[in-house]
């Protein structure tokens, strides 16, 4: 968008003649159709995700009982009937903490406080909003294995950050949280419902990695060092854009390149 607004649009306004109609080639039509397909897929994913979350939340809250955790969860909390030991932060704009009665009955006060602290980490990081935006964003990799690999890597990082927020780097707290994850997982062999706007306390297929990380001596990776390369790249791009904008010949070259794409194959 920055490139189009800063380079292509000025070139178009300066050099494009006024025409009532201009025939385009198949290349531009193909690119336009691909763009529309990506936008339609993103819109469909947004609607489907919102509907799935609403349906799951409605089913859980049908016979829910309000909960009052201490310390507070920061959002409305409910105990629900579920054969699966679900504990999750549900929703984006009006999130709720959902906890199965089986989990509440099986855990003591300190364990419930650990669960709430973990989910509060997701809440403060706005992980449900981030998940939803990533699920809905137009993405050329959506139909490739790389998309799932990237999403799983982000999920792992989000869970690690929530674990670190709940344990505050204390080794004893990390051991307690690891034991709690195993305890909750043993309450049922089922898999909790998933959606882009749900942050569950445990995901069985990713549980082993989290437990091993919590049991390691290190509390998590340190803050990454300050990167120098991105600012240099940004500075180079800005300098390039300014050079193009100050050079009519460069703008004409940009316009000719765009016209070549528009008329390619015509």
**In the chain, where the domains are located:** 51-219
CA 8 from centroid of its chain's CA atoms: 31
The pLDDT confidence band at residue 160, using thresholds 50, 70 and 90, is very high
The pLDDT confidence band at residue 214, using thresholds 50, 70 and 90, is very high
CA 11 from centroid of its chain's CA atoms: 36
63 DSSP assignment: T
d(CA 77, CA 64): 9
d(CA 119, CA 162): 7
pTM over 0.95: no
Cis before 216 (ω within 30): no
d(CA 11, CA 154): 39
What pLDDT, on the 0 to 100 scale, is given for residue 121?
92
What pLDDT, on the 0 to 100 scale, is given for residue 63?
81
Look at residues 69, 183, 166, 187 and name the one whose alpha carbon lies nearest to residue 114. Answer: 166
């Amino acid at each position: 968008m920055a490139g189009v607004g800063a380079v292509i649009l000025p070139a178009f306004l300066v050099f494009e003649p006024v025409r009532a109609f201009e025939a385009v080639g198949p290349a531009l039509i193909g690119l336009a159709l691909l763009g529309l397909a990506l936008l339609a897929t993103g819109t469909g994913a947004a609607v489907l995700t919102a509907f799935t979350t609403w349906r799951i939340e409605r089913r859980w809250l049908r016979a829910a009982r309000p909960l009052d955790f201490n310390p507070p969860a920061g959002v409305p909390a409910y105990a629900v009937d579920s054969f699966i030991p679900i504990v999750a932060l549900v929703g984006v704009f009006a999130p709720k903490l959902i906890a199965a009665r089986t989990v509440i009955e099986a855990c003591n006060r300190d364990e419930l406080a650990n669960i709430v602290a973990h989910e509060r980490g997701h809440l403060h990081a706005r992980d449900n909003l981030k998940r939803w935006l990533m699920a809905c964003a137009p993405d050329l990799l959506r139909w490739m294995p790389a998309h799932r690999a990237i999403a799983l890597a982000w999920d792992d990082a989000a869970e690690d950050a929530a674990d670190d927020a709940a344990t505050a780097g204390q080794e004893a707290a990390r051991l307690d949280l690891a034991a709690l994850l195993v305890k909750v997982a043993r309450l049922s062999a089922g898999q909790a419902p998933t959606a882009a706007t749900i942050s569950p306390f445990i995901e069985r297929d990713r549980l082993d990695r989290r437990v091993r990380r919590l049991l390691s001596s290190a509390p998590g990776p340190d803050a990454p060092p300050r990167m120098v390369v991105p600012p240099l790249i940004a500075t180079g791009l800005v300098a390039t854009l300014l050079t193009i904008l100050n050079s009519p010949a460069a703008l004409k070259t940009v316009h000719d390149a765009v016209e070549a794409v528009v008329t390619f194959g015509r």
